[in-house]
Homo-oligomer: A and B are copies of this chain.
């Protein structure tokens, strides 16, 4: 499985190792990544993509597991992408995800992967979009993308899924509300998880208050309640996600989401390619000299970059 041609067939059959390798290719910008995407492109557009975003401790992983379990019971194949920009230095899956992977790995109808690419330029969001395509091409019916809900990369990711669920929990303090405000505009559904705790009503009031402050949208995001650890409310959440999916299909929403996703990927790949080209043209020696000059106070960063690009 060293070329796109060799990977294509096992990937299309949903072979887990082929999928894992293909995602790594996309993350690392492997030379065959472009050829692989070109050959997959005609096979895309079938998978439904659900986003789950929320603060640490909101119970997103549990909710994801419950949704995946419910969809599996219906016979669906489910891909899970855990976007984790919090571990850029260790560069791998977080411990919790490793444990989850071991637990569900026995089921060939579920594929789970942590996305934690180190690298600027929106590479994490772009690689996640690529991974969604790979799962789509491998005939997964639903892809669940789980993110911590802060950071530009994460907002980019969830702004492009079909149905973005913002997960909140009662009693998390004031600062949480600020985060919620930031992702208001991309929320298609609100989920109050751990809804058996004190304060669920207050969270719901706060959501409604924020909704009333936001610009009016064609779609009014519903507020669901779950106790994911007990599986409570999961079926209703899934029904609400499907209602949103139906609304998207009848209101031009799928085309709109496709445009947003296209723009994100175009911008991100253009940036990666433009930087690669600029660096290749300048050469490593000149780049290192420029960085050194900035560090030692001999050149300001703007002038140093202009010099490298010949815009002196």
Which A residues fall within an 8 A CB radius of B? 33-34, 37-38, 40-41, 44-45, 55-57, 61, 84-90, 94-96, 118-122, 124, 148-156, 172-176, 178-179, 181-186, 255, 258-259, 261-263, 265-271, 273-275, 277-279, 287, 290-292, 294-297, 299-306, 308-309, 311
The answer on a CB contact under 8 Å between B86 and A182 is yes
B172→A57 contact, CB < 8 A: yes
Given contacts A94-B178, A150-B151, A151-B152, contact A86 B120 (CB under 8 A): no
Copy total for this chain: 2
Contacting A273 at CB < 8 Å: which of B44, B258, B309?
B309
> What are 29 A-B interface contacts by the 8 Å CB criterion?
A37-B301, A37-B303, A41-B300, A45-B297, A55-B55, A55-B56, A57-B176, A85-B155, A86-B179, A86-B182, A89-B183, A89-B185, A90-B182, A95-B181, A118-B152, A119-B152, A120-B267, A120-B271, A121-B122, A121-B271, A148-B150, A150-B151, A258-B295, A259-B295, A263-B295, A266-B294, A270-B278, A271-B275, A274-B309
A251 CB to nearest chain B CB (Å): 17
* A57 to B150 Cα, complex, angstroms: 14
CB-CB under 8 A from A121, the residues of chain B are 120-122, 271
The listed residue (B85, B297, B300) touching A152 by CB distance below 8 A is B85
Q: Which of B85, B120, B294 contacts A150 (CB 8 A)?
A: B85
Contact A175 B266 (CB under 8 A): no
Asked if residues B181 and A94 are in contact (CB atoms below 8 Å), the reply is yes
**B268–A274 touching, CB < 8 Å:** no
A2–chain B nearest beta-carbon distance, Å: 19
A95 CB contacts on chain B under 8 angstroms: 178, 181
**Nearest CB in chain B: distance from A68 CB, A:** 18
Q: Choose among B89, B152, B266, B271 the residue that contacts A291 (Cβ–Cβ < 8 A).
A: B266
Please, how many angstroms separate the alpha-carbon atoms of A175 and B100 in the complex?
Answer: 13
Give the distance to chain B from A294, nearest Cβ to Cβ, in Å.
4
